[in-house]
Amino acid sequence: MSTGKINVAVENIFPLIKKFLYSDHEIFLRELISNATDATSKLKHLSSIGEIKGDLGDLTIEIKADKKAKTLHIIDKGLGMSQEEVQKYINEVAFSGAEEFLEQYKDTAKDSGIIGHFGLGFYSAFMVSEKVEIITKSHQDVPAAHWVCDGSPEYSLELSDKQDRGTEIILHIDKDSKEFLEESRIRELLQKYNKFMPIPIQFGTREESLPLPEDADKDAKPETITVPNIINNSNPAWTKKPADLEEKDYQSFYRELYPMQFEEPLFNIHLNVDYPFNLTGILYFPKLKNDLNIQKDRIQLYQNQVFVTDNVEGIVPEFLTLLRGVIDSPDIPLNVSRSYLQADGAVKKISNYITRKVADKLSGLFKKDRAGFESKWNDIKVVIEYGMLSEDKFFEKAEKFALYPTTQGAFYAYEELEEQLKALHTDKDGKFVILYTSDAEAQHSYIKQAENKGYTVLLLDSPIIGHLIQKLEGAKEKVSFARVDGDAIENLIKKEENTISKLSDEEKETLKPFIETAIADTGYTVQLEAMDSDSLPFTLTQPEFMRRMKEMQQTGGGMMGNLPDMYSLLVNTNHPLVSEILHCKTAKKRDRLIHQALDLARLSQNLLKGEALTQFIQRSIELIK
Ligand code: ADP
Ligand code: MG
C-alpha cells in the first residue's frame, strides 16, 4: 500500500472545485459516465486497430445506487487503469488521460468520440461525496488497484483483488446530496444528460414479456422475463448518414427528442460537416405561433453525444433558436461560460454554417415544390422574417424564397411583386407603392375598399413585419409599402376617374365648417374628397410615417416623447348621407348624423371604445326607433 499527497499546486483545491468548478452539482454523473464511456471507446479503438486481441464481451456501463450504504456506483468494462496510471491520471489533478490518448493515437483516434479534455471532470465527484473510491483493473496483465480519497488532499492507493477488466467508481454520497441516491432523481439525470450516449448504459432492470408462440392458447399469458434496463439510444439519428435515413426515421427521432410534443415538424435539416470544424445534427422546423418567446430554446446541444445544454444562445443565431433539434460538436467545450463562447472563433464559424444550411434548405424547398412551400409559409414565416431582420447574410439569401401573401391567398416572391401587382402609385423616389394590411380583420373595410378598386392587398401580419418593411425599403430601390388604412388611401381615391364632385364649391364651403365644429373636440383634420358613392361617407386615416414612428416608439425606440395621434377625416362629398348632412333642417339632426357617420368611421379603424361606444349604441337605437 502507498499513501501520498495529491499533486496540486494549491493546497486546498478541493473546496475550490466544490464551489466553483461547476455551478451545477448534478453534472458529476455526466462527468463520471463520460469517463466510463471514454474508457470503453478507447478499448474499442485499441481492439479495432489490433492492439487488443479477442472478444471484448459485453460493454454495458452500469449505474447502481445503494440507499442503505449511501453509495452510488458507476461501473464500466472499459480499458481500466494500472496503479501507475491511477497515480498519473487521477493523482495529478488536471492531467487529462483523454488528451494524452488522442495525442498518442492522433492518426486513428480522431473520430473515436473521446469526450474528456480538461482533466478535471473526475473531481466533480467530490461535489456530492464525502469519500470516493476507484477500483480498477487494466486490460493489460497487471494487478488491480484500489484508490480512496475523502476529499482532503490525502489519498491511499493499494492493490485490489478485482478480477474482471474495467473500473468501478464508488461515491459515498454526503448528507447534503442525498437526493442523488433517489431512483427518480438518478433516472432524471440519466434522461437529461445520457439519453444518446454511444455506449449502452444500464440502470436497474425491467420486465419484458416474451412473444407468444404461434399455436398458443387464446387466453395464454405471455411469459415475462427480467432484462437490464438500458436508458440510452446509443445510435441516435443524427450520428447516421443522411442517405441511410428515411423521412419516418426523422419523424420518430423527433418523437424521441420531444415525447410531449404532439405536432409533427414541418421539415428537417440534417447538418454534417467535418471541415473546418466538426458538427453534426438535425434541426426541425416546427409550426410556429406568433408568440415567439415561449417557443425558444428547444435545441439541444451535445458534445460527442453527451448533453451539454439546451441554451444554444451564442452558438446558433438568435432567429434559429426558434427551431428544434440537436447539434453535436466536439469543438464546443463542455463547460464554458457564455462570454467565452461568444468570443470563440470556432463558435462564430458554426453559427455562420448553420445559417447558411438553413437558407440553402429553404431555397431548395422553394425551388423543388413551390406550392408545398407556400402551404407551409404561415407556419415558418416568423423564423424567416426574424432572420431577414437580424442577419444580413440571411437577408440576402432569403430574398429568393421569402414570400408576400395576399388577402386572396396568393403568394409572391419579392421579385414578382412589381410584375404581378398594380401599383397604388409611384412615389417621389420612383418607388412602386404597394398596399398591405397588418390585420385582415381589423382593417377589413379598408381592404374591401381597395379591392373594389382593383388593387391587391398584401397580408403582412407577423409581429415584426413593421421592422422588416422598414429594412426592405431601405435596402431595395424598387418597392415601398403603404398600409391600407393609412393616408395612402387618399391616393387610391384621387386616382379615380370620376372625381367630379356632386357638390359645388359653395356647398363645400358650407359643409366643411359644419363638420369641423361638430367634431372640434377630436382633433381630426377634415378633408373633403369626391369619392365613389359606394365608398363610406366618412373615413379615418393616419399618415403612414406617423403610424410607423408610433410603432417604433412602442417597441422601444422611445426618444421622441409622446407622439400625438394624427388622423384625417375624409368626407366623401359624393355620398348621399353627406348631402343629407348639408341639407339638414335642424342643427340638432345634422349634429346627430355627423356623429353617427364619424363613429362608423371610428368603428372601422377599431377606435370606438368606452363611453364613445356606449353613446354610439344609444344614438343608433334612437335613430332606428
Ligand atoms: P478528462 O476526462 O478530461 O481526461 P477526468 O478528470 O475526467 O479528465 O479524468 C482524468 C483521467 O482519468 C481520464 O483522462 C482517464 O485517463 C482516467 N479515468 C477516469 N475515469 C476512468 C475510467 N472509468 N476508466 C479508465 N480511466 C479513467
Ligand atoms: Mg472526463
Probe target for ligand 1 pocket from 22, 122, 126, 149, with the most ligand atoms within 8 Å of CB: 122
Residue with the bigger pLDDT between 360 and 92: it is 360
Give residue 196's pLDDT: 97
Give residue 564's pLDDT: 74
| Cβ within 8 Å of residue 69, ≥6 positions away | none
Q: Residues 561, 441: one domain?
A: no
Instruction: Print the SS3 string covering 476-503.
Output: CCCEEEEECCECHHHHHHHCCCCCCCCC
Give residue 118's pLDDT: 60
Q: Residues 429, 558: one domain?
A: no
Note whether residue 397 is domain-resident: no
Instruction: Print the SS3 string covering 247-283.
Output: HHHHHHHHHHHCCCCCCCCCEEEEEEECCCCCEEEEE
Q: Residues 27, 126: one domain?
A: yes
Q: Which ligand lies nearest to the CA atom of residue 39 in the structure?
A: 1
Q: Residues 528, 610: one domain?
A: yes
What pairs with residue 568 in β-bridges? 525, 541
pLDDT tens-place string over residues 43-98: 999 999 999 999 999 999 999 999 999 999 999 999 999 999 999 888 876 566 67
Note whether residue 231 is domain-resident: no
Of the candidates 553, 601, 567, 564, the residue with the CA atom closest to the CA atom of residue 443: 601
Q: Residues 124, 162: one domain?
A: yes
Q: Residues 481, 516: one domain?
A: no
Work out the burial of residue 552: count CB atoms within 10 Å of its CB; fewer than 13 is exposed, 13-18 middle, 19 or more buried: middle
Whether 121 lines ligand 1, by a CB cut-off of 6 Å, is yes
Residue with the bigger pLDDT between 455 and 104: it is 455
Rounded-to-integer distance, Cα 3 and Cα 410, Å? 80
Contact 239, 280 (CB under 8 A): yes
Cα 120 to middle of ligand 1, angstroms: 9
Q: Which ligand lies nearest to the CA atom of residue 78 in the structure?
A: 1
Q: Residues 487, 518: one domain?
A: no
**Strands of the sheet with 568-572, listed across from one edge:** 525-529, 568-572, 538-541
Q: Residues 373, 436: one domain?
A: no
Lowest model confidence (mean pLDDT) among 97-101, 297-301, 573-577: 97-101
Look at ligand 1, atom 13, and give the residue with the nearest C-alpha: 97
CATH number of residue 140's parent domain: 3.30.565.10
SS3 state of residue 583: coil
Decide if pLDDT at 114 tops 80: no
Which amino acid does the sequence have at 268?
Answer: N
Residue with the bigger pLDDT between 114 and 164: it is 164
Note whether residue 485 is domain-resident: yes
Decide if pLDDT at 205 tops 80: yes
Give residue 531's pLDDT: 79
Q: Residues 159, 57: one domain?
A: yes
pLDDT tens-place string over residues 294-351: 666 689 999 899 998 888 887 888 889 889 999 998 877 655 455 555 566 677 788 8
CATH number of residue 340's parent domain: 3.30.230.80
Whether 76 lines ligand 1, by a CB cut-off of 6 Å, is yes
Atom of ligand 1 nearest to the CA of 115: 2
Contact 563, 550 (CB under 8 A): yes
What pairs with residue 194 in β-bridges? none
Give residue 10's pLDDT: 45
Q: Which of these three, 181, 205, 229, is where a domain ends? A: 205
Angle, vertex CA 466, rays to CA 462 and CA 467, nearest 5: 110
CATH number of residue 461's parent domain: 3.40.50.11260
Q: Which of these three, 493, 526, 557, is where a domain ends? A: 493
CATH number of residue 594's parent domain: 1.20.120.790
Note whether residue 224 is domain-resident: no
CA of 210: how far to CAs of 222, 226, 415, 565, in Å? Answer: 6, 10, 62, 75
Note whether residue 549 is domain-resident: yes
Residue with cell 391616393: 491
Note whether residue 89 is domain-resident: yes
For 432, the enclosing helix (H) or strand (E) is strand 432-437
If you ran DSSP here, which 8-state letter would residue 418 be given?
A: H
Confidence of residue 553 (pLDDT cuts 50, 70, 90): confident
pTM above 0.75, yes or no: yes
Q: Residues 589, 512: one domain?
A: yes
Whether 35 lines ligand 1, by a CB cut-off of 6 Å, is yes
Q: Residues 171, 75: one domain?
A: yes
Task: List the grid coordinates of 523.
Answer: 382633433
Cα 35 to middle of ligand 1, angstroms: 5
Q: Which residue intervals of 18-67 are DSSP H helices?
A: 27-48
Owning domain of residue 449: 404-493
Look at ligand 1, atom 15, and give the residue with the nearest C-alpha: 97
Look at ligand 1, atom 20, and give the residue with the nearest C-alpha: 35
Contact 172, 71 (CB under 8 A): yes
Contact 338, 313 (CB under 8 A): yes
Note whether residue 328 is domain-resident: yes
Number of domains in the chain: 4
Task: List the grid coordinates of 270.
Answer: 440534417
pLDDT tens-place string over residues 536-547: 889 998 888 888
Residue with the bigger pLDDT between 130 and 7: it is 130
Q: Which of these three, 189, 205, 221, is where a domain ends? A: 205
Q: Which ligand lies nearest to the CA atom of residue 86 in the structure?
A: 1
Whether 232 lines ligand 1, by a CB cut-off of 6 Å, is no
Q: Residues 341, 453: one domain?
A: no
Note whether residue 398 is domain-resident: no
